[in-house]
Structure 1
């Protein structure tokens, strides 16, 4: 068994459970906002292309970057099937060093929470270096409070049926470090075909959370202005619950 971040089995599960073209609240939100901006746009932690492809199909000039070769291979496959040829990079977000600058940078669906605190600050600084004057970042965060109730309990997830007739089984267990603001989940994947175990994978999934005001301070300390916040991809809706998705945007002067 291998210990991975986003390996082959994790990517396969993600692609099946979150298919391209599904109904997601962030897709219309970003199509609306980014269409007003125009210019070059970068989606960070692009994954399988779940958001990238709808943005491209909406006519936006979007590029992508991700650290996982398995995720990027899946993304390129989906793009090729649709006749799309976006610029896609492999690399770590905290070490972002891409040619040119962008009018907007997007990190959606809580992906920014995968970064440890020092890497998150480095990423904010890298984003600022890669933005044109008046360029915008969009970052969505969540609070993993529900996992506080079930930490250290092994949970069996719903089986995933694959196109080749195999089934992927998953077990997960979370632990919470309140001082480090860390929710660490270990996920065991087993892929079975005709009663035989054909692949296994162990994923370490760390999620580092920020408080609302804490993240606003991080943005301010790293040169961002005009910070706005809404809940659940709904403009003008303010967060009122820990279950809300916190949707931040901010500008580099």
Structure 2
């Protein structure tokens, strides 16, 4: 059994991620590609994972760079990029310590990855780091799940068959719900089974911080951003609704 860490995304979790979320399986990728159509400046994707967003953007002709703290995710991302003929600038880094020698026209954080920063003060520092990483006039785009997700307490129990034929299983159980800090923890147990035998287990503690709508608007402004706008559930044709599961924030560096 591997060491327990926070938001680690180890080998089994990374393999499951690719099986469970192939390119364009979620609505965010098409939405963001449409937003950045004809965008001629470099784009940074924090927490790029195994390339679910990054690779479609590369295929669309964008200059993309990314970072991720998980070596397993990055290994899969590099392999997938190479298979498609790409060699983007990728780095193993955390939100708190990433650094590139250039600035970017956009920072894109899709599908709620920003909630993995589970401390308010750290999140504010990261927003300021995003601001510094942007060119003047650059845009920050972040998908978020709102504070209502703290109320969810269901068990996440799923399984997949890997290309190798292995059975991969996942069970996640909420262990902490902290309304005061707007933070949740869940214990995830990932298993690999072969020929009816358990051959590998990983334990990951998933920690997330959820945000209020106006709270995050103010956080962006406090970090130096302006012209903040929000879209609900990847649908620009309507206003925000209380039932929206995802908010997409967009803000500019002046």
Question: Once superposed, what is the RMSD of the aligned Cα atoms?
Answer: 1.5
State how far apart, in whole Å, the 2-side matches of 1:8 and 1:39 are: 33
Distance change (3 Å), C-alpha of 1:146 and 1:112: closer
TM-score, normalising length: structure 2: 0.93
Equivalent residue number for residue 201 of structure 2: 200
TM-superposed CA distance for 1:149, in Å, is: 4.5
Equivalent residue number for residue 120 of structure 2: 117
Distance change (3 Å), C-alpha of 1:173 and 1:67: same
Equivalent residue number for residue 170 of structure 1: 170
1:148 aligns with 2:132: no
State how far apart, in whole Å, the 2-side matches of 1:231 and 1:78 are: 31
Of 106-115 and 37-46, deviating more is 37-46
Distance change (3 Å), C-alpha of 1:208 and 1:146: closer
Equivalent residue number for residue 79 of structure 1: 81
Residues 24 and 30, structure 2, Cα contact 8 Å, conserved in 1: no
State how far apart, in whole Å, the 1-side matches of 2:84 and 2:99 are: 28
Distance change (3 Å), C-alpha of 1:206 and 1:143: same
Residues 173 and 186, structure 2, Cα contact 8 Å, conserved in 1: yes
Distance change (3 Å), C-alpha of 1:244 and 1:171: closer
Distance change (3 Å), C-alpha of 1:83 and 1:149: closer
The residue matched to 2:16 in structure 1 has which SS?
helix
Residues 41 and 63, structure 2, Cα contact 8 Å, conserved in 1: yes
Matches within 5 A, 1:38-187: 38-115=40-117, 116-143=119-146, 145=148, 148-150=151-153, 155=155, 157-174=157-174, 175-187=176-188
The residue matched to 2:87 in structure 1 has which SS?
coil
State how far apart, in whole Å, the 2-side matches of 1:146 and 1:126 are: 26
Distance change (3 Å), C-alpha of 1:221 and 1:156: closer
Residues 37 and 104, structure 1, Cα contact 8 Å, conserved in 2: no
Equivalent residue number for residue 213 of structure 2: 212
TM-score, normalising length: structure 1: 0.93
The number of residues matched between the two structures is 249
Stretches of 4+ aligned residues off by more than 4 angstroms: none
State how far apart, in whole Å, the 2-side matches of 1:236 and 1:169 are: 38
Equivalent residue number for residue 33 of structure 1: 35
The residue matched to 1:37 in structure 2 has which SS?
coil
Of 186-195 and 26-35, deviating more is 26-35
TM-superposed CA distance for 1:146, in Å, is: 5.3
State how far apart, in whole Å, the 1-side matches of 2:207 and 2:31 are: 26
Gaps spanning 5+ residues in structure 1: where? none
Residues 64 and 89, structure 1, Cα contact 8 Å, conserved in 2: yes
Distance change (3 Å), C-alpha of 1:226 and 1:146: closer
TM-superposed CA distance for 1:206, in Å, is: 0.8
